[in-house]
Structures are given as structure tokens and as C-alpha cells.
Amino acid sequence: MPKALKGMKDIIPQDAAMWQRFESASRGIFHTFGYREIRTPILEETALFVKSIGGETDIVTKEMFSFKDRGERDISMRPEGTAPIARAYLEAGFHNTEMFQKLYYIGPMFRAERPQAGRMRQFHQIGAEAIGSSHPALDAEVIALMAKILDGCGIKDYRIRVNSLGCAEDKKRLSKALKDDLSGKKVLLCDDCKTRIKVNPLRVMDCKKDSCRDAVRGAFRAIKLLCEGCVKHFDSVKARLDDIKVSYVTDQYIVRGLDYYTGTVFEVSHPALGAQDALGAGGRYDNLIKDLGGPEISATGFALGMERMLIAAGGGKFGEKPENRLAAYIATIGVEAERRGFEIVNALRVSGVKCDMDYEGKSLKAQMRSADKLGARFVIIIGEDELARDEVTLRDMESKEQVSVKLPDLVKRITGKIC
Ligand code: AMP
């Protein structure tokens, strides 16, 4: 039997209910904050990600699903949402028309990582990008928005950590200082980090190995990180977060691995997640639009991982959404009744009544069981007697009351009770 690919999962209806809840809660919050939805294609030119995320990052070197298309072009499945949205922003010409854009997305991302708990090859992100301003209030807004979404999805006990990487100059200085310091301590570093200090020293700070972490912390103590302007900006971001009562801690070891990040960066973690404890992350990327060939335009954003949000919310067994339940189930006895039932089910649907019927030739008892399982409020029973009288029997599954109803009254009867 064919199976889903490793690290890729079906979302079957029982589970989809929870996904729908997260999606609709998030959409509502995005709209409250003035963000509009953007949907970009799953496939992009590989060069987009190399240019934006960075040719030396794990995502680009090891994790992208990349291939040649039929025209021999290098294509990749999107591993994240920011670069495609920056591309779409420029392609739509927003930089010439409405430079300030607050955008959100919900959708699948693809990374060929080793699958484990909370790490999939196809996973889903809820994210936002606010493009067109370097105002510290916007940094605070996206962090507050991320927190609101977690609250809205019923996730508690998450922890937000913020830091500033500084401007491109600060990053360069930090990178050089780290390289100088750590080059003398190579014995403490893992093989990956030995390579990192050569090609992208900042990435050493992302390493989870204890000895690398200790070495980095030691190196850090000696480095003055931010220029005056960046200190001021970051102080202002934190003051705004305090003003609107968003809880966070400052953690100078938060660095985002992707090249495009500058200035404020942040991560949100959750104790239920174990080793992969990041629920989401984000930050400022003031140079990305320019690096992609556009003008100098500041931006910030975040992405939350939906699979990890489900774990943090406690496994996601919340059951079917009440609005997905059937209003009525039509149970029939005999061929003629089934034919009349089919007519009724379609007439009810035209009137907007959520209803269904049996297509498996089940007994009346089994049909009643199906109605119960589907959460139907009413069962419409049609047998020989009902056919002869041109009526149906309407059973209220809550009160167990059963009445005969003429067909023209049926819709009114049902909608009157459920609205
Ligand atoms: P990143 O862009 O790597 O910072 O990812 C942002 C968020 O997406 C993470 O905090 C995770 O919640 C989620 N995420 C990233 N990679 C994966 C993955 N392979 N499987 C599941 N979730 C992921």
C-alpha cells in the first residue's frame, strides 16, 4: 500500500478541526491588527532563497527540496515565507505604490530535515510580514501580534526572548569579533562550528552543543555589540513592549540563523516541546528588499510553526467545531423512501441546512447511529407510512421528541430550532 512520504503527514478530518480553529483564530487576530492575507506559490527559483536566506545556511545547503524543472531551471519548494513575500512585494510593485504593507500567510513549508517530534519535512507556518517602516513600534507590534495569536489558540506558558543583532555594520563587527575569539578555541567547537567560524561565524550562536555554547558565551563577554543608534532602537522596542504589557526577556544569545536578519530578533519557546522548543521566531530584515533588487525598505515579521503549536496546546483533541456539525440526518427505509430522502436532503441544502443521508444501504438502527456520530441535531425519518401521508417524522435528538411534519414546514421547523 502506498504511504505518505517520510516527514510528511496527512491531516485527517478529526485533526483538521483543530487546524481550522487555529487558522480561524489567527485570521481574526491578523485582521484586528490590520494585516491582509498574501498567498505565494509553493515553488520558487532556488536563487531567491540562496540570495535571501544565505548560501551558507543549513536551510540552503542541506534542507531545501530543490530540483530542475522541465525547462532545466533550478526550482525549490519554499522552506519559509519571508523571502517569497519580499519577492511578491516587489513583483506587485508595492514599493512604488503603497510602500507600507502589513501581510500575513498561513501555509505549508518544506525542509528536508531528519524527521523527529516537532520536526517535519512538510510543516505549516502562520506568519506575518510588516514591510515599509523601521519604527520600533512596529517591532513591538509584530511581537505582540505573535503573542496574541498564541493566546487566541489557547497556548499558555510560552516564553518570548528578544535581542538585537544590530545593523549590518554591527553584525559585521560581531561576526569578526566572534571569528577572532573562537579561532583560538577551536578545540571547544564541534566540526560544524569549526566550518561556521570560517564562513558565517554568527551561526555558531545557533549551535545547541554545550561546549560550543560555552565558548560563544565566553567570547560574547568581550564584545561590544551594538552601535548607539541600534541600542536606542532596541531600548525603544522594549519600552513599547512594556507599555502594552507583553512579557518578554532579553537574551543576548538569540541570533537568527538566516542571513537577512538585522536589528530586533526574537524567539518564542514552550516547555512542552522538548529539544525542539521553538514555537516560532522572527525579526527585522532591513536589507532583504534591497538585496533582492528593490529599494532600501525596512521590514519585520515572524513565523509560528503550527505542528508545534498543536503540541503546545496539548495534543489537539478538541473535537469537531460545533459549526461543522450536521443540523439534520435523513434516515430512510426502502427504495422509494431513499429516493424521496435524496430529494429532501438536496432541498434542505439549498436552504442552507447542513444535512446528510446514508449511501451505504444501512439499516434504520445503523442510520440512527450515524446521525448520532455526526452530531446531527435532528433525524428526518422516512418510511412507508410517511411516504403515504406525504410527511416525514422529525426526531429532535436533544429532547428525543418526535413529531410528524409536512414537507413545506420542514425547513422552518429545523431552522427555527437551531438558529
Ligand atoms: P524558523 O524559520 O526555522 O525559525 O522556523 C519558525 C518556526 O517554524 C519554528 O519555530 C518551528 O515552530 C517551525 N518549524 C521550522 N522548521 C520546522 C520543521 N522542520 N518541522 C516543524 N516545524 C518547523
| pLDDT at site 196 | 85
Residue 355 belongs to domain spanning: 325-418
| pLDDT at site 203 | 81
What mean pLDDT is predicted for residues 358-363? 96
Lowest-confidence region among 66-70, 210-214, 338-342: 210-214
Q: Is residue 371 part of a domain?
A: yes
- Nearest alpha carbon, ligand 1 atom 13: 305
Lowest-confidence region among 83-92, 114-123, 251-260, 371-380: 251-260
Q: Which of 262, 289, 312 is the last residue of a domain?
A: 312
* Number of domains the chain contains: 2
pLDDT over 80 (residue 52): yes
CATH of the domain at 354: 3.40.50.800
pLDDT over 60 (residue 123): yes
- For 387-418, the pLDDT digits (tens) are 999 999 999 999 999 999 998 899 888 887 76
- Nearest alpha carbon, ligand 1 atom 4: 281
Residues 299 and 151 both lie in one domain = yes
Residues 67 and 88 both lie in one domain = yes
127 CB within 6 A, ligand 1: no
| Ligand 1 atom, smallest distance to 306 CA | 12
| pLDDT at site 178 | 85
What mean pLDDT is predicted for residues 17-33? 96
303 CB within 6 A, ligand 1: yes
Q: How far is the CA of 279 from the centre of ligand 1 (A)?
A: 7
What mean pLDDT is predicted for residues 172-200? 86
| pLDDT at site 260 | 82
277 CB within 6 A, ligand 1: no
| pLDDT at site 221 | 64
Q: Is residue 107 part of a domain?
A: yes
pLDDT band at 207 (very low <50, low <70, confident <90, very high): confident
Distance separating alpha carbons of residues 157 and 143, to the nearest angstrom = 16
- For 68-114, the pLDDT digits (tens) are 999 999 999 999 999 999 999 999 999 999 999 999 999 999 999 99
| pLDDT at site 276 | 74
Q: Is residue 307 part of a domain?
A: yes
Query: Which residue out of 11, 123, 206, 261 has the highest number of ligand 1 atoms within 8 Å of its CB and is therefore the one to mutate?
Result: 123
Q: Is residue 258 part of a domain?
A: yes
Lowest-confidence region among 185-194, 230-239, 379-388: 185-194
Residues 285 and 345 both lie in one domain = no
Residues 338 and 255 both lie in one domain = no
| pLDDT at site 14 | 85
What mean pLDDT is predicted for residues 324-353? 94
Q: Which of 312, 347, 381 is the last residue of a domain?
A: 312
| Ligand 1 atom, smallest distance to 119 CA | 20
120 CB within 6 A, ligand 1: yes
| Ligand 1 atom, smallest distance to 80 CA | 2
Q: What is the Cβ-side half-sphere exposure of residue 210, based on CA atoms within 13 angstroms?
A: 0
Considering the chain, what is the average pLDDT of its residues? 92
- For 126-135, the pLDDT digits (tens) are 999 999 999 9
| pLDDT at site 222 | 59
